[in-house]
Amino acid sequence: MGHDKLLIAIARGLVEDKDAVNVTVDPAAEDGTIVYHLHVAEGDMGRVIGKQGRIAKAIRTLVRAAANKENEKVVVEID
């Protein structure tokens, strides 16, 4: 499963408006870091961020762990 598909699967499990979930990917930076931008409906932002950002941190940790297995560097931004 690609990192974008993993991110979408996680987010769709958290939100009410599943159709609004999408991910855009920036081209790799010079150091090889890939930035994934997670987009959700405005009403679902709290669901993916969580109290004190705990859910957002967990999402980032999961995606980074998957990328580390493939020796890739990723950053997840929630837009």
Contact 78/56 with Cβ under 8 angstroms? yes
CATH number of 18's domain: 3.30.300.20
Domain count, the chain: 1
Q: Give the structural domain span for 64.
A: 3-78
Residues 6+ apart with CB under 8 A from 55: 14, 47, 48, 49
- CA-based max dimension of the chain: 37
pLDDT tens-digit series, residues 27-61: 999 999 999 999 999 999 999 999 999 999 999 99
pTM over 0.85: yes
